[in-house]
C-alpha cells in the first residue's frame, strides 16, 4: 500500500524552545510581582541583573564553543535559568551574589556539560546550592514580611549594591522560625511571622502566585501534571501523617505546601524537561521522591528549605528512574525488567 502524502495544510506544532521558555517567563510574573510587593524591589533588581549576566555568560560560552550565538541566545533558556535562580535568591542578595550564582549556573552547570539539553542537573538549582553552601549568611537573610515593614526602594537599591544587611528589616523566614522553635508551644505562639493565613505572613501569597503561574503552564501544556502533583502529594502526605501524630513538633501540610519554595519548585524547577525523568510513571516517582525528600530535609536536616537539594538529588537519580520505568513499546510485551531483553 502506498502511503499518500496528505495535502497541505500540514498541522505544525506551535511549540519551539523559545516559545516554551517565554511561557515559563510569563508564568513567573505573578510570583515576581508578589515578591516585589512584599519584600521590596530587591528581587526585581536581581531578576534583571541575573538576565543580563546570564545572556553575557551564555554568549561568551557559545562563542568559545564555536556555536551560533544568536540562534542559541534566542531560545531564552538562559533567561529562564536566570529568572528562576533570581526568584529563589533572597531579596537582599547583593549584585555579586547573583553574579556568582548565575555565572556558575550558565558556565559550569549548563555550557560545560554541553549546553541546553545536555545538562544532567538543573542549572538554576546548581547555582543556588553553590551560593547556599558558600555564602550561608547572605543566603538566609530575608527582609520584609511581618513583623518587618517592606523596605523602601532606596533601601533595596543600597542592599543590591552591597551596602550591608538592612538593620531592623531582616529576619528569618517562617520555615526557619518553625524549625528553631518546633516543639515549644509558647515560642511558636509568640512568633508573629508564623501567623499568616496558612503558611506564615506573606508567604502564602508568594506561593499562591507561583501556583497561579504553574496552573497557567499546565493549561498551556508547557508542563505535564505528573511532576507537580506527585511533588505536592509527596510533600503533603508525610507532613499530614506527622502533623496528626504531633502538631507541635511537625508543621501542618498547608504550612509545608505554601511556604518556602514549594510552589516555585513544584511547577517551575522540578518540571525542567532536561533534568527530570521522562516517562509518565517515571515522573510520578520522581515527583513523589522530591516531595518526600523536601519534607525529610525540612524536618530533620540542617537547612530550613530543601527544594534545591531535593531536586538536585533526584536529577542524579532521574536516569536510573527512567531505566526502570520504560513505557511498553506498542506491539511488544512489557519488558521484563529495566531495559528489557
Rule CB under 8 A: which residues touch another protein?
100, 108, 130, 133-136
Closest CB 328 distance from another protein, rounded Å: 39
Q: What is the torsion angle, in degrees rounded to the nearest 10, for the CA atoms of residue 272, residue 274, residue 278 and residue 281? A: -30
Closest CB 137 distance from another protein, rounded Å: 9
With contact defined as beta carbons under 8 Å apart, do 41 and 33 qualify? no
Please state, in angstroms and as integers, the Cα–Cα distance from residue 168 to each residue in 105, 114, 141, 155, 203, following that order. Answer: 32, 45, 12, 12, 20
Closest CB 134 distance from another protein, rounded Å: 4
Residue with smaller CB distance to another protein, 164 or 331: 164
Q: Provide the greatest CA pair distance for the chain.
A: 80
User: What 3-state class would DSSP assign to 147?
Assistant: coil
Closest CB 199 distance from another protein, rounded Å: 31
Rg of the chain's alpha carbons, rounded to an integer?
21
With contact defined as beta carbons under 8 Å apart, do 151 and 144 qualify? yes
Residue with smaller CB distance to another protein, 133 or 153: 133
Q: Is the bond preceding 224 in cis, omega lying within 30 degrees of 0?
A: no
Residue with smaller CB distance to another protein, 104 or 268: 104
- CA 192 vs. chain centroid, Å, equals 27
Q: Is the bond preceding 9 in cis, omega lying within 30 degrees of 0?
A: yes
Closest CB 130 distance from another protein, rounded Å: 6
**Nearest-angstrom CA–CA distance, 136 and 218:** 34
Closest CB 131 distance from another protein, rounded Å: 9
Residue with smaller CB distance to another protein, 178 or 303: 303
Residue with smaller CB distance to another protein, 63 or 328: 63
Closest CB 303 distance from another protein, rounded Å: 14
Contacts of 65 (CB under 8 A, 6+ apart): 111, 115
Residue with smaller CB distance to another protein, 51 or 132: 132
* 3-state DSSP of 70-137: HHHHCCCHHHHHHHHHHHHCCCCCCHHHHHHHHHHHHHHHHHCCCCCCCCCCCHHHHHHHHHHHHCHH
Residue with smaller CB distance to another protein, 117 or 136: 136
Residue with smaller CB distance to another protein, 118 or 153: 118
Closest CB 95 distance from another protein, rounded Å: 14
Amino acid at each position: 500500500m502506498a502511503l499518500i502524502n496528505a495535502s497541505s495544510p500540514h498541522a505544525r506544532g506551535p511549540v519551539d524552545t523559545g516559545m516554551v521558555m517565554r511561557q515559563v517567563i510569563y508564568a513567573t510574573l505573578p510570583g515576581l510581582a508578589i515578591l516585589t510587593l512584599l519584600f521590596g524591589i530587591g528581587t526585581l533588581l536581581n531578576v534583571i541583573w541575573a538576565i543580563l549576566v546570564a545572556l553575557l555568560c551564555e554568549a561568551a560560552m557559545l562563542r568559545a564553543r564555536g556555536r551560533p550565538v544568536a540562534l542559541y541566545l534566542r531560545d531564552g533558556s538562559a533567561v529562564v535559568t536566570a529568572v528562576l535562580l533570581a526568584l529563589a535568591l533572597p531579596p537582599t542578595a547583593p549584585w555579586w551574589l547573583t553574579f556568582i550564582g548565575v555565572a556558575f549556573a550558565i558556565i559550569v552547570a549548563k555550557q560545560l556539560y554541553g549546553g541546553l539539553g545536555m545538562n544532567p542537573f538543573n542549572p538554576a538549582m546548581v547555582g543556588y546550592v553553590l551560593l547556599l553552601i558558600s555564602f550561608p549568611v547572605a543566603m538566609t537573610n530575608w527582609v520584609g514580611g511581618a513583623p518587618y515593614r517592606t523596605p523602601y526602594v532606596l533601601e533595596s537599591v543600597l542592599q543590591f549594591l552591597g551596602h550591608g544587611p538592612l538593620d531592623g528589616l531582616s529576619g528569618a523566614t517562617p520555615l526557619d522560625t518553625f524549625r528553631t522553635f518546633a516543639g515549644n508551644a509558647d515560642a511558636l505562639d509568640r512568633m508573629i511571622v508564623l501567623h499568616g493565613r496558612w503558611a506564615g505572613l506573606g508567604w502564602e501569597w508568594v506561593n499562591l502566585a507561583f501556583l497561579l503561574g504553574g496552573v497557567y503552564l499546565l493549561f498551556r501544556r508547557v508542563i505535564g501534571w505528573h511532576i507537580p502533583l506527585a511533588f505536592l502529594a509527596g510533600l503533603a502526605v508525610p507532613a499530614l501523617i506527622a502533623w496528626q501524630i504531633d502538631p507541635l513538633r511537625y508543621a501542618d501540610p498547608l504550612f509545608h505546601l505554601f511556604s518556602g519554595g514549594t510552589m516555585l519548585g513544584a511547577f517551575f524547577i522540578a518540571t525542567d524537561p532536561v533534568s527530570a525523568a521522562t516517562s509518565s510513571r517515571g515522573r510520578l516517582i520522581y515527583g513523589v521522591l522530591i516531595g518526600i525528600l523536601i519534607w525529610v530535609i525540612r524536618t530533620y536536616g540542617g537547612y530550613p528549605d530543601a527544594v534545591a537539594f531535593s531536586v538536585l538529588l533526584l536529577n542524579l537519580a532521574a536516569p536510573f528512574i527512567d531505566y526502570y520505568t520504560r513505557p511498553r513499546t506498542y506491539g511488544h510485551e512489557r519488558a521484563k525488567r529495566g531495559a528489557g531483553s
